[in-house]
Amino acid sequence: MKQSPVYLNDLGLICSLGDDTDEIYRQLTKSSPSGLTTSTQYSDKGSLELGLVTTTLPSLEDCPSSQQTRTNQLLRAAYEKIEDSFLTARQDIAPERIAVIIGTSTSGIENTEIALQQQETAGGVRYEPQNLGNPAHTLAKWANVTGPCYAVSTACTSGAKAIASGRRLLRSGMFDLVIAGGVDSICKLTVNGFASLEAVSDQQCLPFSQNRTGINIGEGAALFLMSRNHSDVCLTGVGESSDAHHISAPDPSGQGAELAINKALIDAQLAATNIDYINLHGTATTQNDKMEATVVNRVFGSSLACSSTKSRTGHTLGAAGAIEAAFCYMLLTRGESELPLHVYDNHYDSELPKVALVTELSSKAKISKTMSNSFAFGGNNISLVMERQQ
C-alpha cells in the first residue's frame, strides 16, 4: 500500500551562524568566516573552538524554573520562527492530534552542573531540568497541544530520528500536525567528555583532511512543522540501521551506514544517481570520516557533490541531524542556488576513498533531491532524503 506523502511545511533554525535562514545560507555558500568562537568556559584543558550561539536568546521568565534552561531558550528561538505558521496550520485540528517530538542529548545538564557547584548554599540539586523529555514537554506547553510528546536521544542522530518519527505518526493517520526537530546546548559534561575520548580539536575542525584531529562542539536548534499538506519540500526517504559495532567507534566496513543510505533510497524510490547533493555527517574524526568516505564512494561514486557543514557550526550533537536536514531544506526551497561549501585546509586524506567535496563556489543550480546523513555512537545510523516538489 502506498504511504501518504509527508511534507516539511516550515522551518525554525538557530545555530552559531545566527537565526536568520537567509543569512545562514549565505554564510554556508560563501567563503565567510566560520561560526566558531574561541572559549575557555566549557573546557578543563584550555581554549577550544566552539559553535556557540551568540544571538540574543528569548527570556524564559514566564516559564517554571525547571524549564528555564539554555536548551529551552534555543528551542523557543526556533519555535518563534514557525509559531505563526503553526497557529495557522492548527486551526480546526484537535490538540490531541498534534504531536511534539524533540531530539536532544544534553537537555538541561548545564543547569545541573551549576547547581552541583552551588549545592552547599542552594540547599540541594533539582534534576528536572536535565530530564531528556524536558524540552519536548516545555514546547508542548507553549504550543498548547496534548498529542504524543516525547524525546528521542540517540546521540548524534537524535534530531534526524525525531523527524523520521514525526513522519511515522503522520502516516499512521491518527495525527495531523507534528513539530519535530532537535536541540542541544553546550555544557562542560559534553565538551570534557569528548575531550576524554581524544576526539576534540582545539582548532577549526577539518573534515576529510589528512590533518584532521577531531570535532568542534556546537549548539543550536532546528524545528520543522510537518504535515500531510502539500508544500515545497517532501520527506520522501528515511533509512535507519543499527550496526552495534562499538559503543563510540563506527564499524570501519560501513555496512550499517550503507544499509541506512540504501534503505532511504529505496524508501524514496530513487537510484543513487538521482541524488543531487549530500550533507555529510563529516565529524573530522579519524574513524568516522574514513568510514563515511568509504560508504559514500561505494554507493555514489566519486563525483556526487557533497560537503560537511560542521566546520561552520560545530557538531551540535542531538540537534545535528535536524540542523543539517535544515540546510538541505533551505537549499531545496531556494530555486537556483550555490551548494554549501566544505571548509577545510584542502589537504584531502589520500588514504580515504575519493568523494567530491564542494570546496569552491559552485555555479547556481536547481537542486531537487538531497540526502542528509547522521551516524551516531553505538552504530546508530540514519539517512534522510528530501525532494523539491513541482
* Residues noted as catalytic: 156, 281, 315
- Residue 23 · residue 103 · CB < 8 Å: no
Tracing cell 540539586 back to the chain, one arrives at 125
Q: Which residues contact 73 (CB under 8 A, 6 or more apart)?
A: 57, 58, 59, 60
- Residue 383 · residue 157 · CB < 8 Å: no
- Which residues face 369 on adjacent strands? 387
Sign for the pseudo-dihedral over CA of 241, 283, 10, 356: negative
Range list of H helices, the chain: 21-28, 70-89, 109-122, 134-143, 158-171, 188-196, 255-268, 286-300, 310-313, 320-332
Alpha carbon 187 to chain centroid distance?
17
Alpha carbon 80 to chain centroid distance?
18
